[in-house]
Each structure stands twice: as structure tokens, then as C-alpha cells.
Structure 1
Amino acid sequence: MSIPETISFDKDGAVEPRGWLYRARHHVHRLFLTLVILLVAVLSFGIGRLTSGGKSEPIKIEYDASLATPVASLPVALPQNGGVVASKSGSKYHYPSCPGAKQIKEANKITFPSPQAAEAAGYTLAANCQSR
């Protein structure tokens, strides 16, 4: 099966094809012009968007010290002069510098004037505290 093609001759006797390929060649110029117009339109739009986007002001975040709320630390009454602390519900006593002493809530804290007084009350030295 073949595509029928009309053949004609020019004035010199050369063959001039008059089929679909010949007719499509005339539309190439219109197609090219259409593509150029579309490409120019898209590029112009893109360049316009790029140039107008940089004119906005940058966002500035400033710190206002007057709005900050100071964090109040609660005064901790630690025993002085060799005193120790213990918990009401526990069986161990701690020196004020031990980490365990800082974990006892103020409501449950018992203060002893010396380690001997804490041992007399039935408390023993905590394992994470070193004796002085």
C-alpha cells in the first residue's frame, strides 16, 4: 500500500511532487513563527516575574528585652556548717552538694545539723554521696 502522490513537471521537465510532504512544507513557516511568538511570550513573562520579585523588604526579627519575663529561681535553704538533708519517706541522707539532695522536694525535705544526727534518726549515707 502506498500513498498516492500527484506528480507534475515544471517548465524544464523536472518532477515537482505535489503530495502531503510538499503541502506540509508550506506550513513550516507558520509553525516556526508561532513557536517563536510563544517562546518570546514565555520568556518575557518569566523575566518580568524574576525582576519584580526582588523588590520586597527582608523580614527583620528584633528582640525586645522588655517583653521577656525573668525566670525567678526559688531560694533553696541548704544547711550550713556540715548539715545534711534527707527525705521524709526515704532512708538515706545526702550532703547539700550531692545530686540526690537537689532532687528532694522542699515539702519532703528534712534537715539535720550533722551526719551523726541523721544516723541517730535511722538514716544512712546515700551511695552517690562521698563522706567528708
Structure 2
Amino acid sequence: MSLQDIWEKIKPQSQVEVVALNENGEIESFPLFRKLFLSITIILVVSLSFGIGRLSVVGKREPIRIEYDPEISKNQVASVIQTVSSSNVIVSKNGVRYHYLHCAGAKQIKEENKIVFASPASAEAAGYTLAANCSPKP
């Protein structure tokens, strides 16, 4: 079977042309325009109506207000100061290194193995040394 035979099977046997006739039986010159005119008109009217509806609501919304509550900010400042001033260090009862609270090593120590010292000096006095991957916050 050649390509020509396959093409003959695939291509349509008859050529069909669609035409539109007017009341007098004459062929209309712009049938596609008439079909699309109503669709395009409806789409434009709907889009215009939607846009006008959206614009009519824009000015009627209440503006956003941000209220300042001094009590909340006092509590936040106090907790930040307390966090910064706490110089606790954590050691593992099985280890020889101490870690600051913000270090990754401190987060890996299990709760039952944690020992908390009030300062790095007290941890060093107990024989612990600073972990190599941990440094105090500036």
C-alpha cells in the first residue's frame, strides 16, 4: 500500500461548502460576521456591566484601620528584653560541651538529658567547654 492509497482513504470524498442565503435566495456576502456579531455584542455588554458593577462598589468599602494598643507592645518589649538578658547555657549530662539556647546543638539534646546553667562561666567552672559550632549572639 503506497502513500497515495493511504491519502485517498484519509481525505474526504466530497468537498462541502456552507453558504448562507438571504430571503431572495441569493448568497450572503458576510455570513460569518452575522454569526459572530451577536456573540461579540453579548460578551462586550456583559464585560461592560461587570466593570461598571465593580466600579460602583469600590468607594463604598470601609478603609482598614490599624489601632495601636500600648499594653501589647509593653509585653512584647518586656519578653524581648527577658530573652536577650537570659544568658542560660545548656549541657547534656552525657557530654562535655555547653551550648547557648539559640544553637542547633541545644535543640538536639533530649529534655531528660538537659542540664541548665545560669551563665557560661558557671558551665566552665563545672568542667564544660563551649561547643565549636556555637557562639554567643552579638
TM-score, structure 2 normalization: 0.37
Point out the structure with max Rg over C-alpha: 1
TM-score, structure 1 normalization: 0.39
Greater share of strand? 1
